[in-house]
Structure formats: C-alpha cells, structure tokens
Structure 1
C-alpha cells in the first residue's frame, strides 16, 4: 500500500534509542558517534513524508541497545500491549539499536504474539551521517505497520521485511546488516509499496504479560556457551560451582554443525542437567535447525543461541507461575 493513502490508520512509534537516534560531531563519522541522543519525535520530524500519516510518539527508553536490560523489556512489552489494545491504532513501530534488536523482537513475539503489526526498525548509521539510513527505514516501517496483511512482530530494515523468529544481524557495519535464516524473508518495501513474497507460518500463542510479573532482578539467569576445538566443560563446572542466586538456572550451548558437542563438554552439560539446570542445544551456524533426538540434549530447533536464551528465560518464568 502507498503510505500517502493511509491517513486514517494511526501508528504509534515507540522510541528506545539506538544508532538511529545517534549523533556525531563529524557527519563523515559513522563509527565514533553517541547512540540514543535524539528523541523519537525528532526522528519523525526529520522524515517529511510522515507528516501525511496519523502518528503518535512515545519515548519508552533512551539507550544504546548493547545495554538493553530486562527492566526495559518488561516496560516495552507493557507499553506495546497497552497501545495495541486501542481500537484506533493500526500498528506500532519501535525504533531500536541493531545490536540486540533480534532478541527484543523475539521476546515481544513470544510474550505477546500480537495480531496487529509491531514493526521494529533501526539504523546502521547515526542520524547526522552524510548518508544516514534511519529515515528511510522509519518510513518503510510505518508503511508496514499500516498494511492489512502485516501481523506479529516484524523487522523492517534496508527495504526487507523479516519475521522475529529467524532474523539475525549478519554484518557488523553494512546498511543491509540483517538476514533471515534459510532466506525466509517475508517481503520488500519498494518506494513505499509493499510486496509480500512469503507468508508467516502459524504463530504460537503468546505467553502473556503475566509471566513478567516477577521482579526483573529475580528473572532466571541463563548463560550461553560455545562448542569449539578442545572444549572441555570447565566453564560449565565453574558456573555450577557458583553459590545461590549466582548459579545459572539454564544453559544454552551453541554447538558445532547440527548442535554437536565435544564429549567433555556434553558430559559437563549432562552433569548440569542432573543438578536441575535446564539445557538447550543450539548451533553456532548462521542457518539451519538443530535436529531433535531422544538421546541428545534438548534441541532449540531453528532458534539462534541468543533467541534460545530468550526462549529458555521465558519458559522458566512461565513454569515458575504454573
């Protein structure tokens, strides 16, 4: 749909900071900038085409996404749910930093599984750059948030629409930094027009805001480990030796290939499992699922290690309320 034909569809833009809101003293500096310097209303004002759209802005947080935390996640989920409950709101856009965007997207999808679109977007270059990418990404995100076919938590970046479950940041500096595993992109935004190339699979039910009721400082600790040459399990045992609340409740292991583990690392993880620590097995590969097997440690499926960690935290929170 053309963004200029959508004046009646209200979009709420929630700001959380990130590079898209960053500034640098030198317009030619795309590295030495300060993230999260501009408010979300300033970002909107810098895109003249958005003046034709019914918009509201809300600043939920103002941080560099490398510093994203559970408290901000909880607040963001609450604000997203509150805005989606409004009948006059067609969808939401969330401006975010790129570093942990994929984790936030998956968290929101698993907790809320929204029927209306919740579109995250970001930038690889600060707002003061000579060729900043933020304004176009924001304009495209608003177009997707108004589209009748859009649903669930999505990422719109560099003209591509991704689903929350499989999107990953795959490049450290290019403006097309995000990819979807196995090429599973959903669509494209071309000069304000959406072209859907794939459909979303059936969404799992959201776990619900009530699982976030526990104080964030008491959320379960889940750590990520990697399999690699000479992985011997000492890190696992060091974590198990920690006392009280410092001991992790869960471990995600990024295995090699199809989630394979060295014998010593697997033995240590099975010790952890026997002591009540939950274990999920992911892969350090960029794409492809970990095949489940009755004899192997539990599989995280097609989730990346960081998303498997989010999933395990949410599972533990849900079980704690059961």
Structure 2
C-alpha cells in the first residue's frame, strides 16, 4: 500500500485564523491544528507547524525571514512532500516573494489565507486551505516556484498583488511575465531597512531625506504612472545615489509593464539618469523585498537593474 504524502502546514496567523471577539474586532486566535480539523485532505497526511499568530499588517521583515527559514527547514525534511503557509492577505505577496527568492524549490510551496474570518458565515478559509494542501501534494507543482492558492486560482509569486479588499478572488498579477527561477538568495534580510516612499502630485523629497537620515539601506518609490515624479524627487534620488543608497522606482498603478520613458525634469528617464532603477513588473511591496534580498546579497547597481528588468538576466548569473 502506497504511503500518504506528508504536507507541512505552517500557521502564521492572518484572517484565516481569526475570529471576532466581544468588541467585534477580528484577531488571530486559531492554531494551525484547529484549522486543519475537518479539512478533507484526500489521502494526504498533514503536519501542523505553529510559527506565529499575527495579522500580516503587523509583520516585520524579520518575521518574513522567520517564515522563509521555517519553510527551508520543512523543505530539508525528506519526509515532507510539500509545504503550505497560512498567511494574512495584507502582506501575502511580500512573504511569498521572499521565500521564492531564498529557496530553489524541488517540492511545492503554497501560500494561502482567507478574506473572511473563520466565524464568518461565508468563510473562504477552509476551501482555500483544502485546495492549497492538494496543490502542495501535487509533484507537478514542484518546479513552478512559490505559488499562491486562493479563490480558485493558482498564481506565481512574481508580480503578485492584492487587488480586492472584499472579494474571494482577491489576488492577481501586475504583469504577464514568466516567473523567473529562484536565485537562491540565502542571505538573511532581518536587519535591513528598506523604505517605501509614496509619490503624489506636488510632493517634495522630505520623506526621501527622512529615510536617508533614518539609515535606510534602500528606498522604493511608489511613483506615478509608468514610474514618474517631479524635479524635487529627482534631486532626492540624486542625494541617495551620492550616499550609495539604491533607489528603485515602482508605481501606484497596479497593472502593466513600467517603462522609464518620460523626461520633463521629473520623469522615469530623469530618475534613471541620476541612478534610480526602474521596476518593470514588481509593485512597491514586492520591489521592497527584492531590493532587500539584493542588498543582503551585496549586489551592485547593474545586478539590481537586471533583477528588476523581470529578473531573467539576474537569474542566470
């Protein structure tokens, strides 16, 4: 008789593990073991791992590193056939990308969660969890990189973003590109500070300068349109370059490939001229994670530029 495949299920908190208390506030209160009770796993054995119980909005980059390390530990266990990570949706794409960047996978790794709490009459957690376990037990998903199983979709980590705050089908991709292979960046990112600065019409470089003063190792701009700003932001980027702090330009626009084509004193072309790197696909949250991983790996500006140009050149080096 063929033995059951064993899937590790890492609990980190999030809406999937939350119930509302007497005040009406939703808080993570359910363990991974309790969430697995009653889930039909179709001849798959599960191993609950209680890692943390946090809303993903409260996660630090150190917490994300802990999640990645825990995934690595389970992947190294020869008895484990796949890994599922139960995670809050607010920062799901960030943790998923970090795990993808740090682990060259030979087993499926699947993130999932929920839009509605466990005590909601239309809770989507159990369905997402059952589907994620099935995906993690499917050897065909072993070499696809880290995946998200959510709302009936199976999506790659690269370019992932949360598109809806109240729909079951909550995630999509910012650009239709092939998910690059993991570079296996194993360096720890816990002690790095990479800030995100929001760009808006008429803004100045106050927040860029504040990040520099705070000792940021890198800065991501959530810029306008295809990655544009104004001359004051360009001057702020120039100061970052002079201080050897890398700046990556993303966009507040959720979908589409970004091109550094505009001039006029503050466009993406002008920011590139003073040292900024344009993120072709990744939006600000994931751009922050990739930049942190590159900085931790002591990559130079050319490496960073290649990595954000859909990663394909970087993945081959």
Q: Confirm whether residue 153 of structure 1 aligns to residue 146 of structure 2.
A: yes
May I ask how many residue pairs the two structures share in their alignment? 285
Q: Which moved more, 1:296-305 or 1:36-45?
A: 296-305
1:255-314 CA deviation, whole Å, 9 max, x = no partner?
212111211111111112112211111111111233366636211221111111111111
TM alignment of 1:62-77, pairs within 5 A: 62-77=53-68
CA distance in 2, matches of 1:163, 1:51: 24
Change (3 A) 1:182 1:300: closer
1:60-97 CA deviation, whole Å, 9 max, x = no partner?
11111111123322222222112112222221001011
Counterpart of 1:192 in structure 2 is none
TM alignment of 1:125-136, pairs within 5 A: 125-136=116-127
Q: TM-score, normalised by structure 2?
A: 0.83
CA distance in 1, matches of 2:113, 2:120: 14
Contact 1:227 1:262 in 2 (8 A): no
Q: CA deviation at 1:35?
A: 2.5
Contact 2:67 2:95 in 1 (8 A): no
Q: CA deviation at 1:248?
A: 1.3
Q: CA RMSD in A?
A: 2.2
Residue from 289, 292, 303 that aligns with 1:310 = 289
Q: Confirm whether residue 170 of structure 1 aligns to residue 142 of structure 2.
A: no
CA distance in 1, matches of 2:285, 2:62: 18
Residue from 70, 73, 83 that aligns with 1:82 = 73
CA distance in 1, matches of 2:67, 2:223: 32
Contact 1:137 1:156 in 2 (8 A): yes
Contact 2:175 2:281 in 1 (8 A): no
Q: Confirm whether residue 102 of structure 1 aligns to residue 93 of structure 2.
A: yes
Contact 1:20 1:35 in 2 (8 A): no
Change (3 A) 1:300 1:97: same
Counterpart of 2:265 in structure 1 is none
Q: Confirm whether residue 225 of structure 1 aligns to residue 216 of structure 2.
A: no
Counterpart of 1:195 in structure 2 is none
Q: CA deviation at 1:41?
A: 0.5
Counterpart of 2:6 in structure 1 is 10
CA distance in 2, matches of 1:62, 1:39: 8
* Structure 1 alignment gaps of length 5 or more: 1-5, 185-199
Q: CA deviation at 1:180?
A: 1.6
Residue from 259, 271, 274 that aligns with 2:227 = 259
Contact 1:7 1:54 in 2 (8 A): no
Counterpart of 1:319 in structure 2 is 298
Counterpart of 1:50 in structure 2 is 41
Q: CA deviation at 1:143?
A: 1.0
CA distance in 2, matches of 1:226, 1:164: 23
Q: CA deviation at 1:46?
A: 3.3
CA distance in 2, matches of 1:144, 1:125: 21
CA distance in 2, matches of 1:278, 1:234: 17
Counterpart of 1:34 in structure 2 is 26
Contact 1:13 1:94 in 2 (8 A): yes
Change (3 A) 1:205 1:54: same
Counterpart of 2:17 in structure 1 is 21
